[in-house]
Structures are given as structure tokens and as C-alpha cells.
């Protein structure tokens, strides 16, 4: 009789439906940048604090590809450079003729720095010295490529003037170390692992833009902001260096439910220390930064959280 009761209880448990967690995909970038660890940290926040959902960070080609993945529903969240995200949402620039109007912001996470790296002895000490050289402009479909082209074009350098290579961050670092390229662009939070690793085995140089080059770049691409790469960020680079910065946006589709967008935004900001433990770039992830740096309308669910937190929502951020 006891055995029968035990078997009956097990049968009831087996027949009870288990609530499956809904899977969320976060489109990030390559493993040598900041998007991937930030996306992984956000996935853990969702897994730990958003009931009924499980998230995974996916390696991608970064900004341009990520906006397409959100538009097609192949990713639920994606990180992208602000200029790329704005182009996708408005159908301009790289997205001319293919407007992804459904793109919405959840938050702005941190600012990228456009870092142009070469090695000691390369003969390259300025942007103009890149002419005739082998230059990595970033992975295909990345925000780095968008930024590199904008900076070069604004300062009179076209792809016809360089031998452009489309390499991701780790590939760019390896190619520099092996002598296969002369310089490379990174548009990424600082410090980033691929440059850190390169600097431990090679004497690196970060090319500083002149005031005129910064002004020309900002006139052509107003979303650029002048910022400073602090001396000591990388081994052997002791002086502060003027660079261009671009905010990074956490984007979703307008089709995401208001409740889910609200829950993710709330979980991220209320557990921001968990993101900071993954990467120091999350020190910039604040409500104030989101209000000032986001170039596209926010998702209504995110707006609900920000209003609860007491933020004033600018008109341009309301869909």
C-alpha cells in the first residue's frame, strides 16, 4: 500500500506541468570587446531577477548586425553604437532604404572610445599617415566600421587611400602583432581586453586626433563627442589622449511587451552592481546618462520605470 501511494504521488508530480522559462537572446559583439561581457552580465541579471525568463549573450558582428537581428526577431535585445542605432531607426546612412522603425531603446549603457592603434616603429603618428597603409576598420556589420569610415571620410581619407581590412577586435590585435596590418580601429569601451593583451607583448601607440580632425568628424557626425582616454589605461601609453566617443544603446523591438521591457530595465538599474562587477564600463550606466545620450525613442515599458524612478523624460525619447 505504501509503495502504491508513493507511485501515485510520483505520477501526480510527473503530470504537473513545469512552467518553462522563456528564452531571450542578447546580441552583443566579438569576445575581444566590451559588448560580450556586458551582454553576459545583463543575461545573468535577467536570469536572477526577471521571473520566468532566461537570457543568453550571443557573439555577433556587433552594432549593424544587431539591429537587423532585432528587426527580424532573431534577437530580443541588442547593443549598438548610438549612430548606428539612430541610422537603423530612421533609415539613414548604412540603413538607407531599409528603415527599422520598430527599434526602441531600453537604456544607454556607456560611451565607446574610438581608439586607433599602431605599434612603435610603424611610421604612423597621425591620422593622415594612414594613407597607403594596411588598416583594420572593424568587423563587417560593426559599429567600429561605421565610425572608422565617418572619421576617415570627414578628414579627406577614403577607402581608396588605404588597404582596408575588415577584422574583429581579436583579429585586429593579432594582425598588428604579426605585422599583417599597420594600424587598426577599435570603437569600444576602455579598457578592452584585446588592446590590453596586445600592449603586454608589444609597444603600442594610440593615434591622437588633432583639434581640427575632431571638429571635422563632429561636424559630419554630430553624435560624436570629444572625450579623453586616460593615460595609464594601457601599458606604455602614459599620456592622456583626445579621442572621439560614442554612446552605446541597449535596444529592443517595439513589439516587446511593456511588462517585459519594464522588468528588464528595472532589474538592470536596481542590480547595477552586478554589471559593474563584470566590467567597469557599467559605472557609466545611469538613468541620467540614458536621458542625455539616447538618440532614439525609448520603449514605453522602460519609460514606465524611469518615471517611477523620478526621471524627466525628454520629448524626443517618447515614441
Element holding 45 (H helix, E strand): helix 35-49
**What's the pLDDT at 13?**
46
What pLDDT does 22 receive? 97
What ranges do the domains of the chain cover? 11-110+249-317, 112-246
CA distance 136 to 32: 15
CB 159 within 8 Å of CB 110? no
In whole angstroms, give the CA distance from residue 78 to residue 62: 8
Task: Give the position of cell 549612430.
Answer: 83
pLDDT at 1 (0 to 100): 52
Return the CATH class of domain 112-246. alpha beta
Tell me what pLDDT residue 5 has. Answer: 54
Report, as ranges of residue numbers, the positions in the chain whose pLDDT lies below 50.
3, 6, 10, 13, 16-17
Beta bridge partners of 202: none
* Of 229, 36, 25, 284, the residue nearest 142 (C-alpha): 36
In tens, the pLDDT along 291-313 reads 989 999 999 999 999 999 999 99
Q: Report the DSSP pairing between strands 241-253 and 77-81.
A: antiparallel
> What pLDDT score does 32 carry?
87
Q: Residue 249: its pLDDT value, please?
A: 97
520629448: which residue's cell?
315
Total-model pTM: 0.80
Dist. CA 66–CA 59, nearest whole Å: 10
Confidence (pLDDT) at 141: 82
Domains 11-110+249-317 and 112-246 fall in the same CATH topology: yes
C-beta separation of 62 from 143 below 8 A: yes
Residue 238 and residue 130: Cα distance in Å, rounded?
Answer: 23
pLDDT given for residue 12 in this prediction:
52
For every residue of 63-92, DSSP letters joined together read HHHHHHHHHHTS-SEEEEEHHHHHHHHHT-
- The confidence score (pLDDT) of residue 20 equals 77
Residue 82 backbone phi and psi in degrees, to 5: -60, -40
Report how far residue 275's alpha carbon sits from residue 42's, in angstroms, rounded to the nearest whole number: 7
CA distances from 316 to 178, 289, 291 (A): 47, 15, 10
d(CA 68, CA 154): 26
pLDDT (0 to 100) of residue 225: 84
Half-sphere exposure of 268 (CA within 13 A, CB side): 27
Helices (H), 179-286: 193-201, 211-220, 258-270, 272-278
What pLDDT is attached to residue 16?
Answer: 47
Q: Which fold has domain 11-110+249-317?
A: D-Maltodextrin-Binding Protein; domain 2 (3.40.190)
Amino acid at each position: 500500500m505504501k509503495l502504491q501511494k508513493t507511485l501515485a504521488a510520483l505520477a501526480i508530480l510527473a503530470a504537473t506541468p513545469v512552467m518553462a522559462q522563456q528564452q531571450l537572446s542578447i546580441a552583443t559583439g566579438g569576445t575581444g570587446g566590451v559588448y560580450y561581457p556586458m551582454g553576459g552580465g545583463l543575461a545573468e541579471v535577467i536570469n536572477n531577477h526577471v521571473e520566468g525568463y532566461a537570457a543568453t549573450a550571443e557573439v555577433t558582428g556587433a552594432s549593424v548586425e544587431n539591429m537587423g537581428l532585432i528587426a527580424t526577431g532573431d534577437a530580443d535585445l541588442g547593443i549598438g553604437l548610438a549612430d548606428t542605432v539612430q541610422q537603423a531607426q530612421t533609415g539613414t546612412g548604412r540603413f538607407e532604404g531599409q528603415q527599422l522603425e520598430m527599434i526602441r531603446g531600453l537604456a544607454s549603457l556607456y560611451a565607446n572610445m574610438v581608439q586607433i592603434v599602431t605599434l612603435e616603429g610603424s611610421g604612423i603618428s597621425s591620422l593622415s599617415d594612414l594613407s597607403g597603409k594596411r588598416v583594420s576598420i572593424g568587423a563587417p556589420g560593426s559599429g567600429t566600421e561605421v565610425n572608422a569610415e565617418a572619421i576617415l571620410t570627414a578628414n579627406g581619407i577614403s577607402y581608396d587611400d588605404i588597404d582596408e581590412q575588415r577584422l574583429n577586435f581579436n583579429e585586429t590585435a593579432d594582425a598588428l602583432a604579426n605585422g599583417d596590418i599597420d594600424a587598426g580601429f577599435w570603437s569600444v569601451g576602455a579598457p578592452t581586453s584585446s588592446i590590453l593583451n596586445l600592449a603586454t607583448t608589444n609597444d603600442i601607440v594610440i593615434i591622437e586626433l588633432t583639434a581640427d580632425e575632431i571638429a571635422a568628424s563632429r561636424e559630419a557626425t554630430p553624435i560624436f563627442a570629444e572625450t579623453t582616454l586616460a593615460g595609464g589605461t594601457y601599458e606604455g601609453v602614459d599620456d592622456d589622449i583626445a579621442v572621439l566617443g560614442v554612446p552605446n544603446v541597449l535596444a529592443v523591438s517595439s513589439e516587446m511587451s511593456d511588462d517585459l521591457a519594464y522588468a528588464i530595465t528595472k532589474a538592470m538599474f536596481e542590480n547595477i552592481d552586478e554589471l559593474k562587477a563584470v566590467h567597469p564600463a557599467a559605472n557609466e550606466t545611469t538613468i541620467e546618462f540614458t536621458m542625455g545620450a539616447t538618440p532614439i525613442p525609448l520603449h514605453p515599458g522602460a519609460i514606465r520605470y524611469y518615471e517611477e524612478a523620478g526621471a524627466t523624460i525628454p520629448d524626443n525619447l517618447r515614441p
